[in-house]
Structure 1
Amino acid sequence: MSRPNPAIYITFLIAVIVILGAVTLAKGGFYIAKHEGDTLHLLQIVFRMASGEWPHMDFMTPIGLLAFAPIVLFLNLGVGVGMSILLSQVLVAFILLPAVFWTGMSRLPRRAAYPFGFAVIVLVLGLVHGEAERSVSISMHYNRWAWAVSYVVIALAVLPPRAFGNDLLDGLIIGLGLAFLALCKVTYFAAFAPVVVVGLIANGNARALRSAILSGLGVALLVSVFATLDFWFAYVADLRTVAASSVRPQPGLGLESVVTAPAYLGATAVLIAGIILLRQAGEMVLGLSLLLLAPGFVYVTYQNFGNDPQWLMLLAVLLLVPEPRAELRNGFGWPVGQALGVAAAVAIAFAAPSVLNLAYSPFRHLSLPEDDYEPILARNPEHHDLQARVIRANRVDGLVALDVPGSGLEDRAGPAERDEQRVLFQDRALPFCELQMGIVAWFEAIVADLEANGFGDGTRVFVADLFMGHWMFGNLSRLEGGAPWYYGGLPGIDSADYLLVPLCPTSQSVRKQILEAVKEAEIPVREVRRAPLYVLYGLGEAAG
């Protein structure tokens, strides 16, 4: 089958970027409908980086710097954070454009090149994390970006050049792509780098492998020059902390369920069928590569919130590449070429809900009624271009225990096994309550109360909860070496003036873990304020 026409193919790719990018930016701001907590996590990181801090060295995070650097670039140019997020997606799409074009022209037949290019661009420019969830959100954007880059890197490595090739260019793209994965979300690098190496060697592209290694090392050297070698040690330390953390051992279903649960069994079956059919078609290298990719596909899906198998479109593309002889049949008598096409169609059908959801999410964003939204950072006019739904920002809902004394349900407390959740700190029992919605109002109210009672003006507060972004809502200062998302230990508490214990945290288990760590570390604390929403304890001199 002929390769795509170069002029038509590049026009198609640019058109997809321009249309989706223009629709994304036309709103003039970013209006999120969900995942406010994840958004605040992102804001903490990009604001810290914009002020000159480095991930891992100045604050804890397992996510790499390149997941945030494009956003920070626009922030440093004076753009509001909402538009900075949207512009960063368009920038990443245009940066990937040459690599996507080269991959399509050098590796793919026309029938595979167009869905490949469309899927990669949609992954970058989507305004939702995936699945069939329609609510606009920037949550986990780095997962989408990493999948997009993985598509390019894997296709270049496991598919041999068709009519023409350039080993040095292949290696350059692969090396830069793998470096991006390592500095965006290392899970993807760990899952796919070995297969990339095997694919290049099996296809006889040793020169491309050398080029990939050199270009990847070049990125590592560049980062080391600007951030020093300490950056890498700090990065590894953060990854080890997260790997050993009990806070979020898995963000969704268990590993076995991602393979065999009803929602995923069909995808697993078509993946296995694809491997078998490729071997029957005589595509030994591609079949071996897909066999080696399968564990990586499953593992990355297991590691990502929502467990969305974003690899399905890549599987379909790979199955559309071979062109076996028309008379070639397998043991069942099936024409292997047609069977591969059917398997690809099934993969596309399974992928369609997520891909279409990503593709039209910018259009949903454009149609959102602005009257239903309000700024997340109300006290920062320069960032009013990032907004949340009024109802979600202000409706503060919590999950509370009803089997309390006097409720008539006291006898149910034992079988409910609440002892594991019970928290006793400073001889006081904390209530069973977990925040479900309204984190923006929750943060605003707590910070306003702190400032009204003399705890503003640069005060540093260590919060016994999953998020510690209170400093973005007032005159508080951020912790030195803190963690925008809590994974374990007491990061940044040495720089804190106070310990803030929310009475209804976003995570009861995290609150309990932090307070137990404070006790074990024998850190002196003294209650200085008991408010309706929190208890404040002095640390260090404030505890005296």
Structure 2
Amino acid sequence: MTKSNTIVVTSFLFAVLAAMGGAAVLKGGLYIGRHEGDTMHLMQIVFRMADGQVPHLDFMTPIGALAFWPIAVLVKAGMGIGMAVLWSQVIMAVLFSPAIIWLARTRLSPVLGAMFGLFVLVLLLALVHGESQRSISMSMHYNRLAWAAAFIAIVTALIPPKTGRGTVDGVIVGAMICVMVMIKMTYFVSFAAPILLALFLTGQKRAIVVGLITGLVIAGAITLFTGLEFWFAYAQDLLTVAGSEVRSAPGEKLSAVMGAPAYIGGSLAVVAGVIFLRQAGVETGGLVLLLLIPGFFYVTYQNFGNDPQWLLLLAVLLLALREDVGEIVNGWGWNMRDALGAVAVAALALTAPSFFNLAYSPFRHMNVVEADYAPIMSRGGIHRDLQGLDLRVNRVDARVALDGVVAGLEPYENRDEQPTFMGETIPNCTVELGLPIIFEAMVRDLEDAGLADGRSLFAADLFSSHWLFGDLEPMENGAPWYYGGLPGIEDADYLLVPLCPVAQDLQALILTAFEEREVPIEATEIRRTELYILYELG
């Protein structure tokens, strides 16, 4: 790419960054439309990190520290968490920009470089995780960041540079692989081997050496600050979740992610891309793309919503690899250059609803009506800049069973068994709206009864987020999101059993695990309301 073209592409990318980032931060707060539970999960981790705690060592989570660290740094500096989330995305986009521009200049045509940069920046700056549901949500924001890192590393490895000796390329690959490790290990496990093989097959041996050195330096720096035990604790959290019956996979089955109606088009497109690359004589590209397919499927399977963001990358790779394809015709008489272009267009068409949802989410966010929203934490002070739809924050809806309760409705035989604890059966009920106000009501009641006062509690539910809402403390070694077992129970002063939990099946698992614990903990009921039963642990 010539110098003038580089300037044009760079200007375009910074215009995208300014438009999307500006639209987000100029709103003055973060206004989400759904996933309040996921948001409270993010808040728990950010506040704990801002307080000096280290993920995996001080609390359990399978998500890497880098997913939350930029937000925590800004919160620690005095920023409200809503604005901290928005500004952290802008900062990460700025930090990623030199690598994006380098790849566009050294490997891609001006149009393709601009398109690739647009895709990566949209992933970094969006205010929704994908799909076609338009509500603003910061749920799984880390998946977008990890996809952006994977896009950059894969393009660096598979598309050899037209200029340069590989030093910068190695630094980029090493850094991006470390980003994947420190955000979500699934991406590293899925893509590290194909990236290394692509570097070798494309002759980027210097980049391999520099990449390994870069990775070791970054890992060494992390170890210096956190200690060697950090890595063991991280591995233990990952193994716990991988073996958990609760959250090992959050969506469709793997076979569905490959072949269900919503995904079969993308699966056929990537397989066609591999075939056409091989027929076009681009054997390295075809082989590496083939090896990337299991990772594409597995990461999509592991991500809630099962959104195949890799289709954007597929289009870029096919368009880049076809540039050196001549007038080659396969056995059916198809021009391979045209065939690769057609598959790339098909991939873009398949992912268009998700991409455009990502791309204009900051502009939707800028135009939300603030009067329709309420703070997630009404007593949050500066953190009241994180708000949710009023009807989802303050309106409480629950799902209850009518069969077996209402006259004339016989009990449904295959309904999940109701939780029991200490000889008592918990009513069949799950909360669907109003999580923040329910948590706040429980905590206010505890405070009024003189039972808060810096104590910690283990909630028999998906979340133990109550400490966000008042005078409680988080449990040492607790889990912001329940993945199994009883993490943090040794530090808890109370066991709180919601009478209408978020997930009653998980409540049943927790209560069973508590009663069957090898080292029993005495639980004495000390308070009962219409919302919860509280047991003191001794």
Q: Report TM bin, short chain.
A: over 0.9
Q: Percent identity?
A: 51
Report the Cα distance in structure 2 between the residues aligned to 1:325 and 1:255, rounded to whole angstroms.
34
Determine if the alignment matches structure 1 residue 382 to structure 2 residue 382. Answer: yes
Query: Does the alignment pair 1:430 with 2:426?
Result: yes
Give the Å deviation of 1:364.
0.3
Q: 1:529 maps to which residue?
A: 527
Deviations 1:96-151 (A, max 9, x none): 00000111111212332111100000000000010101000111000000001110
Verify: 1:495 aligned to 2:494, yes or no. no
* Contact 1:462–1:496, Cα closer than 8 Å, also in 2: yes
Provide Cα deviations, 1:166-201, integer angstroms capped at 9, x if missing partner: 311111110010001000001001000010111011
1:461-500, aligned counterparts within 5 Å? Answer: 461-500=457-496
Residues 30-39 or 376-385, more deviating? 376-385
Residue equivalent to 2:48:
48
Aligned to 2:85: 85
* Structure 2 Cα separation of the partners of residues 323 and 249 of structure 1: 41
User: In structure 1, what is the equivalent of residue 124 of structure 2?
Assistant: 124
**Quick one: distance in 2 between partners of 1:356 and 1:315?**
17
**Cα distance in 2, alignment partners of residues 406 and 70 from structure 1:** 52
Distance in 2, matches of 1:254 and 1:462, equals 31
Shift of 1:165: 2.4
Offset at 1:326?
A: 4.6
Q: How many Å apart are 1:281 and its aligned residue?
A: 1.3
Q: Is the 8 A contact 1:31 1:136 kept in 2?
A: yes
Alignment deviations for residues 344-379 of structure 1 (CA, whole Å, 9 cap, x no partner): 111111111111110000000000000001111111
What per-residue deviation string (whole Å, max 9, x for no partner) do you get for residues 230-275 of structure 1?
1001000100110011112321110001111111111111111111
Aligned residues: 535
- Residues 62-461 of structure 1: matches in 2 within 5 Å? 62-162=62-162, 164-321=163-320, 322-405=322-405, 407-410=407-410, 412-414=411-413, 417-418=414-415, 420-461=416-457
Q: Give yes or no for contact 1:4–1:113 (8 Å, CA) kept in 2.
A: no
Distance in 2 of aligned mates of 1:342 and 1:116: 18
83-92 vs 345-354, which deviates more? 345-354
* Stretch moving more, 144-153 or 375-384: 375-384
> Of 506, 514, 520, which residue of structure 1 is paired with 2:516?
520
Q: CA–CA distance in 1 between the matches of 2:355 and 2:419?
A: 44
Indicate conservation of the 8 Å contact 2:6/2:110, yes or no. no
Residue 31 of structure 2 is matched in structure 1 by 31
Evaluate the alpha carbon distance shift between residue 325 and residue 476 of structure 1 in structure 2; reply closer, same or farther with a 3 A threshold: closer
CA distance, structure 2, for counterparts of residue 124 and residue 4 of structure 1: 26
Deviation at 1:394, TM superposition (A): 1.2
Stretch deviating more after TM superposition (325-334 or 504-513): 325-334
Query: For 1:263, what is the secondary structure of its paired residue?
Result: coil
The residue type paired with residue 442 of structure 2 is I
State the distance in 1 between where 2:434 and 2:8 align.
Answer: 48
1:325–1:210 CA distance, 2 compared to 1 (3 A): closer
Change (3 A) 1:215 1:325: closer
User: Which consecutive unaligned segments of at least 5 residues does structure 2 have?
Assistant: none
Gaps of 5+ in 1: none
Distance 1:306 1:526, change over 3 A: same
Q: CA deviation at 1:3?
A: 9.6
3-state secondary structure, aligned to 1:262: coil
Q: Provide the rounded CA distance (Å) in 1 between the counterparts of 2:86 and 2:440.
A: 25
Q: Give 2:530's aligned amino acid.
A: P
Q: In structure 2, what is the Cα distance between the partners aligned to 1:2 and 1:404?
A: 74
Output the amino acid matched with 2:336: V
- Output one character per residue of 1:36-88: Cα deviation in whole Å (capped at 9) or x when no partner: 00000000000000000000000000000000111011112111100000000
Higher mean C-alpha deviation, range 326-335 or range 129-138: 326-335
Give the AA of the match of 2:536.
G
What's the offset of the Cα at 1:2? 7.9
Given the two structures, how large is their TM-score scaled by the length of structure 1?
A: 0.97
CA contact (8 A) 1:24 1:363 kept: yes
Contact 2:318 2:344 in 1 (8 A): yes
Give the Cα–Cα distance (whole angstroms) in 2 for the partners of residues 3 and 489 of structure 1. Answer: 58
Q: TM-score with structure 2 length normalisation?
A: 0.98
Say whether 1:57 aligns with 2:57.
yes
Matching residue's letter, 1:177: M
Alpha-carbon RMSD across the aligned residues, in angstroms, is 1.3
The verdict on how the C-alpha distance between 1:196 and 1:409 changes in structure 2, with shifts beyond 3 A counting, is same
Residue-by-residue CA offset, 1:508-527 (whole Å, 9 max, x unaligned): 11111111111111221111
Deviation of residue 459 (structure 1)?
1.4
Q: Distance in 2 between matches of 1:502 and 1:236?
A: 31
Q: Displacement of 1:421 after TM fit? A: 2.5
Instruction: State the distance in 2 between where 1:148 and 1:361 align.
Output: 17
Question: Which one-letter code corresponds to 2:113 in the other structure?
Answer: A
Q: Alpha-carbon deviation of 1:158?
A: 1.1
2:314 and 2:409 mapped to 1: Cα distance?
A: 53
Contact kept in structure 1, 2:165 and 2:206, CA below 8 Å = no
Structure 1 ranges of 4+ moved more than 3 A? 1-4
> For structure 1, which segment, 164-173 or 58-67, has the greater mean C-alpha deviation from structure 2 after superposition?
164-173
Instruction: Give the conservation status (yes or no) of the 8 Å contact 1:247–1:509.
Output: no
Per-residue deviation, 1:404 = 2.8
